[in-house]
Chains A and B, each alone.
Chain A
Amino acid sequence: MALLEVRDLKVAFTTADGVVQAVRGLSFDVERGSTLAIVGESGSGKSVATQTIAGLTRGAKVTGTARFDGIDLIGADQEVLRGVRGDRIGMIFQDPLSSLHPYYSVGWQIVEMIRAHRDVSKAAAQQRAAELLTLVGIPRATSRIHDYPHQFSGGMRQRVMIAMAMALDPDLLIADEPTTALDVTVQAQVLDVMRSLQERFGTAIILITHDLGVVAEMADEVVVMYAGSVMERAPRRTLFYRNHHPYTEGLLASLPAHGGGGSRLTPIPGAPPSLIGLPPGCPFAPRCHYAFERCWGAKPPLDIVHDDPLHQSACWLPDDAQGRRANLAALTGEGATTSGTIASGTTASGTSVDGATRVGPAASAGVRP
């Protein structure tokens, strides 16, 4: 049994503008000791989903299940959640400064966290705090536990957060964009710390990120989210080398290739849709240059592709590249789109546009009702 089994998780918020469907049916498993990366752009629902699992989205309408070691966290009462959070599930967030209390020393905060869950003396907890800070690579930890968050740099603060999250040896660490606010050299250090802690304690990690580079470095399995839904789910290598979903393909294609030297990139046209009153059909269809009639009518289910039970994709397109090209050719009415770049592709309605100048409005017309 997997450590965490999430099934058909749906999260909606009622706002003045209407109901925001932030997560629209999310299922995944996290195995003990492994790293699951959830990747997506802003507004894809990746943070909301994990916060909901940890019981941090009050006021949201939540359905589905999230079984953590047999306990369903959705709908569990606060008492149960308090016991699990911090103790068995540790969390770290993007901005370590606003996650730490500015008024208390970091040692105090770690000690409080330990003593909230364990019946230990203050001195013992303090010693544990110093051990933890050493473990995450903070020099002179025994004296630094008396320092306040503002006395640490961004990278060091994130180490403090990791130390706190790991204090009670949790089974699962949820890391929500843990390195997004950090410089690359510091990011490398923090990722290193996470990796070594995982090796040492066998902690499972859910890593939420928008950075495909970080995914390639850290993940065992990857879930790609878009507009609240899973587009594709696959082991790391499969996702990068044998991906199926046009959104995954588009994300990878839009990265600056090494040695590109001033050539044009291949962006995904348009912008992500509003999550209020999403039309039926595939949410990515308005930006997808493979989209055909079926994509607009019904939302494709997440289904096994390439005969690989570990690889699932939510797309109506045929599995193989050949069928895909045929599909694209049929759309444009000719076989001339061999280059198949998205920028010079077609809009949803099938009419050719000059991608360079009118990509924005042409595509957003399809997105914004």
Chain B
Amino acid sequence: MRSEVLLRAQDVVKSFPVRSSGLRRTHDVVQAVAGVTLEVRRGETLGLVGETGCGKSTLARCLARLYDLTSGSVMFEDHDITTLSGREMRPLRQDIQMIFQDPYGSLNPRRRVGSIIGDPFVIHGIGSADERRRSVQELMERVGLNPEHYNRFPAEFSGGQRQRIGVARALALRPKLVICDEPVSALDVSIQAQIINLLIDLQDDFGLTYVFISHDLSVIRHVSDRIAVMHLGKIAELAPAEQLFNRTRHPYTRSLLSALPHADPDVADSRERIVLVGDLPTPTNPPSGCRFHTRCPKAREDCALIDPPLVPVLGDGSVHETACLHPLEVGEDLSLATPRVDDTEINTASHPDQEAESA
């Protein structure tokens, strides 16, 4: 049932020029997304998880064609949308919508809620003024806002309610694909759960497909059918949600999981703890070979040389892909592993003290 592909990204690369400071202005390039291939299937929620600067938001914007791709292609249904112009893209915008993280920054403070939510109708010339107003009020009701608040300004709403406004705006044109970029990260836990529930309900009601981006693994696990773990512009592991947690293959995924604090003292006291050494390397100068090898507890000599492809590990189905030369055995204890790489090589290949700038 969930096999039909709605969107297919092939070898997507997105780089940004960075002007380095100083007298000699050299132009560096940050490869925020460094070759990502994935499919989004109709009706599913694809979770995208990773640390700051791993390129998850950039990838999302590439999928929605808010960015032009440096190379690679994006197919939406039967359309190749890689090089469509703004005008050609416009009819497809109805089908691909986004929900953003910051409910304060993504709503124009000087416009009334009714007109913010109604904008998509105006832009696409749908309905008369009366019909639009009715549609907007229906939408407001549907996302749990009081339709009588049609004429209020965003400032009169709490963070959770603002996020509902963002959701209503994204849903106005009944899109097929909704890209949610950290939709609950700015909200308190009790409110977070309200918005997650809303998104789950709307998916059921409208048959939506979600690409759900978060740095919070427990949220991702809860909402996703499949999860892609990103690391420095590449996908490290891609698997059905439960499989990713139960049969973790990539050491990076495992260390992310082990770093996640559990709101359960028994689990917190007894779980495996892998504390990664150092910070995320910078995408301007990523490590050679596997981009995780400088921090990987299981790194071997060849990891510094070979960039592993994203393929199924022997024994996993084709649905579970891992980009690792030495994937974990099921049940292997990563905290016992020690890297077998020359130390000097690790130090020269990485820049552990510089922050990976998020693009």
Contact = CB atoms under 8 A, between A and B. Distances in A.
A254 B146 contact: no
A151 B353 contact: yes
A42 B142 CA distance: 26
27 contacts: A153-B355, A184-B51, A184-B217, A184-B259, A184-B260, A185-B256, A185-B276, A211-B261, A213-B260, A213-B261, A216-B265, A216-B267, A217-B268, A254-B190, A255-B263, A256-B222, A258-B218, A259-B242, A259-B245, A260-B222, A261-B222, A261-B242, A265-B193, A267-B191, A271-B160, A357-B142, A361-B144
Nearest to A138: B353
B141 interface: yes
A42 B189 CA distance: 10
B222 A268 contact: no
A183 B222 contact: no
Nearest to A186: B279
B162 to A, nearest CB: 11
B336 to A, nearest CB: 17
B189 A255 contact: yes
The 10 closest A-B pairs by CB, nearest first: A213-B261, A267-B193, A256-B222, A153-B355, A361-B146, A254-B193, A268-B190, A360-B144, A212-B263, A188-B259
A259 B194 CA distance: 18
B219 A256 contact: yes
Interface stretch (B8-16, B196-204, B318-326): B196-204
A214 interface: yes
Contacts of B224: 262
Contacts of B279: 153, 155-156, 186
Interface string A304-340: 0000000000000000000000000000000000000
Main secondary structure of the interface of A (DSSP, over half): helix
Main secondary structure of the interface of B (DSSP, over half): helix
B158 interface: yes
Contacts of A186: 51, 279
A263 B203 CA distance: 12
A240 interface: yes
Interface string B156-175: 00101100100000000000
A150 to B, nearest CB: 9
B40 interface: no
A267 B145 CA distance: 16
B354 interface: yes
Contacts of B192: 254, 267
Interface string A149-177: 00111111000000000000000000000
B241 interface: yes
Nearest to B223: A262
B68 interface: no
Interface in A333-369: 343, 356-361, 364
A265 B189 CA distance: 11
Contacts of A264: 197, 200-201
